[in-house]
Structure 1
Amino acid sequence: MINILGSRRVQRLLFFVAATVTLFYLMTLLFPEKKDEISPLVFSGRPPTRFVAPGRRKNLKLENVKGFFLQDLSETKEDIFNVFQTRDFGLIQQEYSIDITNKLPPNATQWDYFRAEILRLDQERLTKRLGVLGYKVLYLFRPSESWHHRGESYYGRESWDCLWTRQDGNGTAQWIDAELTPTGIEGAKYLHKTWNKHLGNTNLAIPELFLSSPLSRAADTLIHSFNLTFRNPRPPSPVFVEFLRESFGVDTHNSRRSYTTLKKKYPLFEFEEEFSEFDPLWTSYRDETDSSVLHRAKIFLENLFLRRNEMFIAVATHESIIKAILEAIGHRQFPIPVGHMIPVVIKGSWLQTGEPRTEAERYKMFYKKNRNCTELDPVTDPDAEPEVDMDEFD
């Protein structure tokens, strides 16, 4: 009797286990787990830390490595500093370790020494206990003069901010996704000549990766600054990055063209994954907050460190994003005039936290209601409420 009961219990247990395994198998077929492959063509959207750091989340520590450029130093006066009139774009003339000196030829330039030092520091990645992701050098370019600069200068700041900036143009100039003026094009070409003057004989003359805001003035600045159309051999294809755009707001010059139009206008460019056909971010009645721009910059940097191996990177973006990147890495705030550039050295490393989500995962787009305009503002409805559904931006 006991053997019969024991046998039945074993049979029931085996049946239960088999049923559970079968059910689990069927569930995996019906609802397969979506895995992120850490695509190299993603710089915006969801932060990648949720995929590469399961369980307890890790934050990325992003820090400016000081001591390479004059722009890092507190004694450098930004109001009189001109990156084009300063030797080597502000690269500090200094001696490096004897190991680097012995490996370079006698005629090596200061940029050669700088590059060798960055490569040496990047070897920290090989020591796992340090948690270092690597080092990157970003050349942050602000676009040259475009037509909306002319418009603001002509109408005045208040009238421009509260009325004219919301128009597509004035019949003479087009401001929507403002393009470079002839002066702006010449300014970008001058930047190319200056770049060759400083870096033409070094390995840094051509960055390993070109990234651009999808606004026309940024793309054209990048093209002219590096002569991308006519350079031989052809450089790596530049990539349009949604999160490198200027702060989202009512300004029509900050709205982008459709994917189809951009693809036709800029055949040299690639697009990051999930780049939408139409502009999903621009609105006609509200502005993005500074904190939202900062989080957007952090997500861009996270993706750059976790998805790409390139170390020397040219980035054509805008004033608000440059300011946010400098803040995100702890760099002193350094105003960048129209058509200028600032180089920065960034170290990325893991920072273990006990929180269930990283800072970037808590990110949402945030908008201000309006610009507090009065009689000059016939467009914005003062009673309009901002949209509350932000899921579309996840």
Structure 2
Amino acid sequence: MSTKPDVLDVLNSQILDDDRAKYLQTQSQLNATWTFEIVPNYFKQSLAETDETKFNYFDEHFGIIDSWERAFADLRSLNEKSDDNTVYKIFLLGRHGQGYHNMANLKYGEKAWNEHWLHLTGDGEIVWAPDPELTELGQAQAKDNNYQLKVELNRNLRIPTKWYSSPFRRSVDTLIGSWQDIVDLKEVKPLIKEDFRETIGVHLCDKRSTRSVISEKYGPLGFVIEDGFEEKDVYYKDDYREKVWEQALRQNRGFQDIFNSTDKKGDAFISITSHSGSIRTQLMVLNHRPFAIGTGGMIPVFVKATKRQL
């Protein structure tokens, strides 16, 4: 069941001019090595005429315009012909399936959620914080992704060589459900990265579990936690919500690390499972048009990265 974005998803996918300007003004804080742009005409989601509210990525085979064969052949050719300062990758960006916080938002509505319920752990019927788990629908959405990925593999989609996840359970469990029995997670060792977490602060559902809890649950399944990952969530604050431009800087830092630490030719197709807010700013960082993703949704992005000459 492909989950199309709802009105709120579309609204939350937009970037205000002030946030975009502030991000551009503060990029120098990163001392970033790489700049990013989209390679056009490979995926429908990058086209201005594609209506995100009507787009069904299952029916559209993840939005591929020509064929997976052409996309990956061109990806290989571009990396072979480019100099050392230019790298091409395709990212498959996935949003976690429905979590209990999403269910609660639907139950109470956006206004009541923002004014009251997001500060609490639950209502006596639903527990949605901190670090909520997937609902039955969210688990089903991951399974549907698994089915569609197998369809695309039969149409010559490649398997990524690197997997990354937000540290939240809803993202890690979506990654597991989407890729189970396609790859052996104990072999590919997905990396849990703090940078790819959801917008930080105020919303109690966006406070993560401790490192010990994450390690105990997901370490035996093959997941690796990045170096420097603190035991407690030192970033979450009850009284400050991360700005969009601040989250964009954080996502940029995550991409800088990927391009600095992965092989140009061997790691050209990469999976990242995160959140709606994370994907909004990931697309911004990569210079992709805003594109709303429903719960459990995925969007592929063909990226050209250029190393800055310092």
Aligning the two structures, in what range does the TM-score lie when normalised by the shorter sequence?
Answer: 0.7 to 0.9
- Once the two structures are aligned, what percentage of the paired residues are identical? 30
Tell me the equivalent position of 1:253.
205
The one-character-per-residue Cα deviations of 1:45-77 (angstroms, maximum 9, x if unpaired) are xx9x99xxxxxx774221111110011111111
1:62 and 1:303 map into 2 onto residues whose CA distance is: 13
Per the TM alignment, residue 201 of structure 1 is displaced from its structure 2 partner at its CA by: 5.7
5+ residue gaps in structure 1?
A: 1-46, 51-56, 94-109, 354-394
Structure 2 vs 1, CA of residues 178 and 120 (structure 1 numbering), >3 Å: closer, same or farther? same
TM-score, with length taken from structure 2: 0.84
The answer on 1:111 being equivalent to 2:64 is no
1:160-175 matched pairs, under 5 angstroms: 160-175=113-128
Which structure has more RCO (C-alpha within 8 Å, separation ≥ 6)?
2
Per the TM alignment, residue 275 of structure 1 is displaced from its structure 2 partner at its CA by: 0.7
The one-character-per-residue Cα deviations of 1:196-232 (angstroms, maximum 9, x if unpaired) are 011246361x21011000000000000000016x855
Structure 2 vs 1, CA of residues 283 and 201 (structure 1 numbering), >3 Å: closer, same or farther? same
The answer on 1:264 being equivalent to 2:216 is yes
Per the TM alignment, residue 193 of structure 1 is displaced from its structure 2 partner at its CA by: 0.3
Confirm or deny: 8 A CA contact 2:100 2:126 kept in the other structure: yes
Tell me the equivalent position of 1:320.
277
Confirm or deny: 8 A CA contact 1:58 1:352 kept in the other structure: no
Partner amino acid, structure 2, of 1:301: F
Partner amino acid, structure 2, of 1:178: P
Confirm or deny: 8 A CA contact 1:209 1:238 kept in the other structure: yes
The answer on 1:334 being equivalent to 2:291 is yes
5+ residue gaps in structure 2?
A: 1-26
Tell me the equivalent position of 1:279.
233
Per the TM alignment, residue 163 of structure 1 is displaced from its structure 2 partner at its CA by: 1.1
Partner amino acid, structure 1, of 2:234: P
Tell me the equivalent position of 1:91.
64
2:198 and 2:185 map into 1 onto residues whose CA distance is: 31
1:150 and 1:89 map into 2 onto residues whose CA distance is: 26
2:260 and 2:251 map into 1 onto residues whose CA distance is: 14
Structure 2 vs 1, CA of residues 248 and 122 (structure 1 numbering), >3 Å: closer, same or farther? same
2:155 and 2:186 map into 1 onto residues whose CA distance is: 18
Report the 3-state secondary structure (helix = DSSP H, G, I; strand = E; otherwise coil) of the residue aligned with 2:188: coil
* Cα root mean square deviation, aligned: 2.0
1:283 and 1:272 map into 2 onto residues whose CA distance is: 22
Per the TM alignment, residue 156 of structure 1 is displaced from its structure 2 partner at its CA by: 1.6
2:299 and 2:197 map into 1 onto residues whose CA distance is: 17
Report the 3-state secondary structure (helix = DSSP H, G, I; strand = E; otherwise coil) of the residue aligned with 1:313: strand
Structure 2 vs 1, CA of residues 295 and 92 (structure 1 numbering), >3 Å: closer, same or farther? same
Structure (1 or 2) with the larger CA radius of gyration: 1
Per the TM alignment, residue 112 of structure 1 is displaced from its structure 2 partner at its CA by: 2.3
The answer on 1:216 being equivalent to 2:205 is no
Tell me the equivalent position of 1:294.
248
Confirm or deny: 8 A CA contact 1:247 1:321 kept in the other structure: yes
Tell me the equivalent position of 2:150.
196
